[in-house]
Structure 1
Amino acid sequence: MRAALLPILLAATASNASAQTKPDISLDTLKTVTQTLSSDAYEGRAPATPAEDKTVAYLIERFKAAGLKPANNGSWVQDVPLVEILATDVSPMTIAGGKAPVTLAYRQDMVIATYRVVPKIEVKDSPVVFVGYGINAPERGWNDYAGVDVKGKTVVILINDPDWQMPGKDGLFEGRAMTYYGRWTYKYEEAARQGAAAAIIVHDTEPAAYGWGVVQSSWTGPQLELDEKGDHLNESAAIGWVQLAKAQEIFAGAGKDFTALAAAAKQKGFKAVPLGVTASVSFANTIRRQASKNVIGILPGTTAPDDVVMYSAHWDHLGRCDAVNGDDICNGALDNASGTAALIALAEAHQKAGAAKRSLVFLAVTAEESGLLGSKYYAEHPVFPLARTVGGVNMDGVNIIGRTKDFVVVGAGKSELEDMIVPHVKAQGRVLVNEPTPERGYYFRSDHFSFAKLGVPMFYGESGEDLVEGGTAAGHAAAEDYVTNRYHKPQDEYADSWKWDGAIEDLTLFYGLGRELADGDRWPNWYKTAEFRAIRDASRAKLK
């Protein structure tokens, strides 16, 4: 939804009766499921480990108790073929050919991995090229790879978009709001398309939206990828991150000014710069193939059961991770035991209200932390046709700091679901506000994006930062404290001090939106300017 429309839409009368519905959302379910899944007994819920078996069994038990039916042709699960790659014997990365050699230590200075399913990776004496933000966007007249051949070379890439420091959304890449071009996933995808042997992103905390500790915990240990034909040999041999200070050292050794080149990379027409140095790194891979599982339950519809309204949340987290103060379990309490608990609580609430016209499906996906793999696999191999999936709600963490006066649509300006949420928000006496940190690109970082790329509108929203008790200052401080001190760290643990009233208020919105979709006949689409509109139109046209 465009920001300029918010005051107008919020002034509209909340006439829809479902906006006033008060669902029976169980506080006990929210607490119990979150505490259980994030306990040390579940070892951080890493996919394709013994902890997965325990997690999936618990989810099936709770889905049954909630009154759901198995949704995948009589089964509660959908197998998701994964391959686990564990880098071992990782050499330091060495940069040669400059004023002095530069050595980057694994974990401390850089992290390195591969998508390729091969026993050994070796990048030797690969010429290093700085490609700015690593973007090739012809529709925006931008190509950081223009005029340079990077086949077999190592590309160094800046994180985020060129205009991420620009206030508002008027820049070529939507200003402060990150586009998909700013995501690390896109940068590796484009580097592979260009034939790069290695792709290394420079870590900078503000544009990345998280500190080095998050990169370190996420990019070391076993890495997961979908197990597909071809073993991902079309990908770059090595992908990774480098600390900002080390990147500056590499550039200085090559006789280049990192700060000046980074500034130049923000300007249209930037040309990639060969640094005149080479990179070398090697590591072995321990490979293990194993199917993980999405868990799927359904409340069948009455008169239009083939039409599906979807709720989703990811059940996985990082499992065992780099220890902090002796604790090596990344429990993932908020991320995303709490969202999984919300999925079950909403299933209970809908079941208590009785069957809707359309079917309600509750999807707990695996391997979100490894690149949205579980939702990607479901979207590409749907149990229910995407053309008959009306839309839905994705949940990745709930509000545990208290009620807020505001509510945020993440990635606003994309689908008509945003219009539908307005009367529900207004019924609570709250206001819609713009994302406080659009540069963090949250829209591209959770499972709704897998559906969006294939045309299905999925709503993703959350409480704002204006706390009823404490105001914006307290809300912002709490949000930043989580990102800095708990996100993807062992400190993301359940606490009895959590306040759940804000979560229940948000889940009331999600219930109301889902129920309106399930009891109605509307097919919300993307706005005409959204990049996913044509995909949805083509998908729906096949049914007409």
Structure 2
Amino acid sequence: MNIKNNCLVILASVALLAGCKQKETPTSITADDIKSHIAVLADDSLMGRKPFTPGENKAIAYISSQFKKEGLAPGNNGSYFQDVPMVEITSTPSAIMALSGAKGNINLNYMTDFVASTRQELPVVSLNNSPLVFAGYGVVAPEYKWNDYAGLDVKGKTVVVLVNDPGFKSGISNFFKGDTMTYYGRWTYKYEEAARQGAAGIIIVHQKEPASYGWNVITNSFTGAKLYLQQQDKHLSRCKVEGWMTEDAARKLFAAAGITGDFRALARKRDFKAIPLNMMASLTINTKLKYSTSHNVIAMLKGSTTPGECVLYTAHWDHLGVGKPDAKGDSIYNGAVDNASGVAAVLSVAKAFSQLKDKPKRSIVFLAVTAEEQGLLGSEYYATHPIFPLNKTVADLNMDALGSYGETNDFAITGKGQNDLDDYVAEFTNADGKKIVGDKNPGAGGYYRSDHFNFAKVGVPALDINNGAESTEHGEAWGKQKQKEYNELHYHQPSDNYSADMNTAGMAQVASLLFKIGDKLANETTFPGWKPGSEFKAIREKSMQK
């Protein structure tokens, strides 16, 4: 009797272990497959894959053809494409922003002291003697019991706010998130909040450490022609003027209002109240407007039992087009790593799912988005015009600029600690003897700088993952050097090119991990959520009640 019971226990244990055995990644996810896709997408003939160019047409035709080749269905009501209507606005501000007050005048010089642009689709916008108000960090964060606009009427006024959030360099790890930037610290949020409050204009004070970049990045990125999604109201709900000023210019402005010393420390006090600066701003911006339509590419594998719920994979197909030649005379910004690598990985994951004998219970959706380099526009458009309901979208798994330096012993999660997807990563990496690391510079707000963020913003748990620095073959110091070389020499440069000897094994490693995570999610009945303290938790919980 005991022998029989023992045998039953052993048999039950074997069955349990067999059921718990992790699914092997299909052999279709290979470094060579990924490399072959990069070779096509980063070829000179695509002229840098800029939206609205022949390069776009070639890129999206290739991506859709690969989806079709693998037997994946069109994801948008019979089409592989989602139209993304955009407007290109070229803002030309007046050379001087005039600040006037009873104690004197201050003239700020364009590019040297300030930059400014507009989203309003009008030929001319102006601030005419708009009262200036120092609104601290420009943050309204209910979960942190923080409101810089409390009791403040800013209609017709221009708010001056600080970059990053009150927690940065406060010395208190649980004040906001300490030195880890929340979304409230991101410049895009500050522009949005000022518009919600009804301000006529907003000027962010640039400081290098809390911004994580120098003034030269501001003058390069916030000037000239910019793409925006077309809006029914022509962006008239946005502030007339969105801009930045240097720290030196801000100190002159604040000093005239009697504000001296550490104004960051002043603004992070719990009892801080917005301060009128007793000066008025005048500025005119002339614009040129151009309208056109770009495209997201979307395909799907229909779920076997709950097809109305889906797991989403994303990567942006666009890059910077043709620009300023480098020292070698190359002017085509091919973006082999950024982000032909991510699209190639998504195509490999799509192939792997298409070859499964047992199809996943939930649908798998593959989305290659446009205009990430112009401000995450393709993903923003999908998130605000979703084809699959957001409260039925289980998660977004994003791949952007995967490392070209081979396999690693670790994986880097952007925004580690935000949501339950971290736990899925841990399950598979622990099983493989790998490690997880977070942001190396959490104060820079990396979680808000790629397409996954637009899904987080509407509540969908989103994961952005990349290779770590610890090279399996050469060690961590070598891996860090390779990361440094890419960031300093190749990022957003013509030298981000395909080469036959580039090491794409690490890209396949990331793609394989995300295949396993997506497959697990697609065969569950539960939904991952956001960790306590995440600024996106309440949004998701509200959407899941619908």
1:179 to 176, 182, 205: 182
Mapped to 2, the partners of 1:259 and 1:537 lie a distance apart of 42
Q: State yes or no: 1:267 paired with 2:272.
A: no
Question: Contact 1:14 / 1:426 at 8 angstroms: preserved in 2?
Answer: no
What is the identity percentage for the equivalent residue pairs of Structure 1 and Structure 2?
44
1:379-427 Cα distance to aligned partner (Å, 9 max, x none): 2322222233222411122122333322233223333322222221113
Is the alpha carbon distance of 1:264 and 1:529 closer, same or farther for their aligned partners in structure 2, counting shifts above 3 Å? closer
Is the alpha carbon distance of 1:201 and 1:320 closer, same or farther for their aligned partners in structure 2, counting shifts above 3 Å? farther
Mapped to 1, the partners of 2:257 and 2:493 lie a distance apart of 37
Other-structure match for 1:370: 374
Q: State yes or no: 1:111 paired with 2:115.
A: yes
Other-structure match for 2:291: 289
Mapped to 1, the partners of 2:28 and 2:258 lie a distance apart of 62
Range moving further from structure 2, 363-372 or 177-186: 363-372
Question: Contact 2:163 / 2:185 at 8 angstroms: preserved in 1?
Answer: yes
Is the alpha carbon distance of 1:112 and 1:62 closer, same or farther for their aligned partners in structure 2, counting shifts above 3 Å? farther
Cα deviation, residue 513, structure 1: 0.7
Question: Contact 1:104 / 1:246 at 8 angstroms: preserved in 2?
Answer: no
SS at match of 1:312: strand
1:526 to 517, 526, 530: 530
SS at match of 2:125: strand
| Mapping for residues 86-97 of structure 1, pairs under 5 Å | 86-88=90-92, 90-97=94-101
2:425 to 412, 421, 425: 421
Mapped to 1, the partners of 2:469 and 2:63 lie a distance apart of 31
Question: Contact 2:118 / 2:285 at 8 angstroms: preserved in 1?
Answer: no
Q: State yes or no: 1:349 paired with 2:352.
A: yes
| Mapping for residues 113-512 of structure 1, pairs under 5 Å | 113-166=117-170, 170-251=173-254, 254=256, 259-320=261-322, 329-354=332-357, 355-469=359-473, 471-490=475-494, 492-494=496-498, 498-512=502-516
SS at match of 2:22: helix
Cα deviation, residue 200, structure 1: 1.7
Cα deviation, residue 77, structure 1: 0.4
AA aligned opposite 2:346: L
AA aligned opposite 1:221: G
Mapped to 1, the partners of 2:170 and 2:477 lie a distance apart of 23
Mapped to 2, the partners of 1:495 and 1:122 lie a distance apart of 49
Mapped to 2, the partners of 1:257 and 1:324 lie a distance apart of 45
Is the alpha carbon distance of 1:476 and 1:90 closer, same or farther for their aligned partners in structure 2, counting shifts above 3 Å? farther
1:309-348 Cα distance to aligned partner (Å, 9 max, x none): 2111112234455676576654433332221121112112
Is the alpha carbon distance of 1:272 and 1:486 closer, same or farther for their aligned partners in structure 2, counting shifts above 3 Å? farther
Cα deviation, residue 144, structure 1: 2.4
1:430-481 Cα distance to aligned partner (Å, 9 max, x none): 1223332221222222222222333322322222333335544444444455
Range moving further from structure 2, 139-148 or 110-119: 139-148
SS at match of 2:454: helix
SS at match of 1:353: coil
SS at match of 2:55: helix
Is the alpha carbon distance of 1:306 and 1:261 closer, same or farther for their aligned partners in structure 2, counting shifts above 3 Å? closer
Is the alpha carbon distance of 1:32 and 1:200 closer, same or farther for their aligned partners in structure 2, counting shifts above 3 Å? farther
1:62 to 56, 62, 66: 66
Is the alpha carbon distance of 1:57 and 1:259 closer, same or farther for their aligned partners in structure 2, counting shifts above 3 Å? farther
Is the alpha carbon distance of 1:287 and 1:75 closer, same or farther for their aligned partners in structure 2, counting shifts above 3 Å? same
Mapped to 2, the partners of 1:246 and 1:329 lie a distance apart of 37
AA aligned opposite 1:232: H
Range moving further from structure 2, 211-220 or 75-84: 211-220
Mapped to 1, the partners of 2:260 and 2:52 lie a distance apart of 41
Mapped to 1, the partners of 2:520 and 2:124 lie a distance apart of 53
Other-structure match for 2:51: 47
AA aligned opposite 2:520: E
Q: TM-score, normalised by structure 2?
A: 0.86
Question: Contact 1:23 / 1:508 at 8 angstroms: preserved in 2?
Answer: no
AA aligned opposite 1:503: M
Mapped to 2, the partners of 1:92 and 1:151 lie a distance apart of 23
Mapped to 2, the partners of 1:405 and 1:53 lie a distance apart of 38
**Which structure has the greater CA radius of gyration?**
2
Other-structure match for 2:107: 102
Question: Contact 1:20 / 1:424 at 8 angstroms: preserved in 2?
Answer: no
Mapped to 1, the partners of 2:25 and 2:474 lie a distance apart of 28
Cα deviation, residue 197, structure 1: 1.9
Cα deviation, residue 495, structure 1: 5.1
Question: Contact 1:463 / 1:506 at 8 angstroms: preserved in 2?
Answer: yes
SS at match of 1:503: helix
Contiguous gaps of at least 5 residues in structure 2: 1-16
Question: Contact 2:182 / 2:535 at 8 angstroms: preserved in 1?
Answer: no
Mapped to 2, the partners of 1:454 and 1:284 lie a distance apart of 33
SS at match of 1:123: strand
Question: Contact 1:29 / 1:344 at 8 angstroms: preserved in 2?
Answer: no
Is the alpha carbon distance of 1:191 and 1:537 closer, same or farther for their aligned partners in structure 2, counting shifts above 3 Å? closer
Question: Contact 2:108 / 2:114 at 8 angstroms: preserved in 1?
Answer: no
Is the alpha carbon distance of 1:486 and 1:248 closer, same or farther for their aligned partners in structure 2, counting shifts above 3 Å? farther
SS at match of 2:395: strand
Cα deviation, residue 249, structure 1: 5.0
AA aligned opposite 1:356: P
Is the alpha carbon distance of 1:161 and 1:277 closer, same or farther for their aligned partners in structure 2, counting shifts above 3 Å? same
SS at match of 2:262: helix
AA aligned opposite 1:105: Y
Question: Contact 2:98 / 2:105 at 8 angstroms: preserved in 1?
Answer: no
Cα deviation, residue 60, structure 1: 1.7
Mapped to 2, the partners of 1:182 and 1:95 lie a distance apart of 26
SS at match of 2:503: coil
Range moving further from structure 2, 269-278 or 118-127: 269-278
Contiguous gaps of at least 5 residues in structure 1: 1-12
* Aligned-pair Cα RMSD in Å: 3.1
